[in-house]
Structure 1
Amino acid sequence: MTFTKVCTLIDIPEDRGLNVKDGDLSVAVFKIGREVYATQDLCSHGLWSLSEIGYLEGDRIVCSLHMGKFCVQSGRVKSLPPRQPLKTYPTLIKGEDVYIDFDGVLIGE
């Protein structure tokens, strides 16, 4: 695994995501307490930015376009209309620094 530093914990809003990029890849980073999760930034249903226009509702990412919901940990669909899960990426916290393994993509079940 190759982790890349993308931000610090304080950079991530409490109720929304933070958009980070690795080349052309756009990833949404979410924080719940001191846990950090990373998913693809675009909703699998409406190609809507989850980091910029979506928000967190507990441990669910809500896409504000059609109100679909995803599990922030696994990327699994929790509420329709989306049918495809989100890609997720391994994260690591060292002190206050947040790292993502952009090559370690996982697909929610």
Structure 2
Amino acid sequence: MRTAAQNTVKNQNKKTDRFGRALVSFILSFIGLASLALFYMVRIANSISHYNTGQTGILTLTINGISFFLGISARNSTSGRGLAIAAITISSIPLTLLLIFLIANAITMSL
């Protein structure tokens, strides 16, 4: 039979330090915001000339998706929890805006 102290030590050993993941996720979330701005600028340029927004949209989705999932995996770490939560929040903004854009684009294409 285990004592309470042994159970506490065992539970502390399960939590790993994922500060690196949290930091990379935080950095990628700001790069993802910059790629969203790039996507918006390409959309404006697309109305003037014939640029393709597909590559910047895929780039934005990829960067923000990686940042979001790294933040989720680092959320329960012993250190870097705040960075992970901030990265999840920041990277969810471009993901939501792109999802709204894709839905609106699909609706207007079907009309």
Fold match, TM over 0.5? no
| Structure 1 or 2: more strand by fraction | 1
Give the structure with higher Rg (CA).
Answer: 2
* Structure-2-length-normalised TM-score: 0.20
* Structure-1-length-normalised TM-score: 0.20
Q: Which has the higher contact order (CA 8 A, sep 6+)?
A: 2
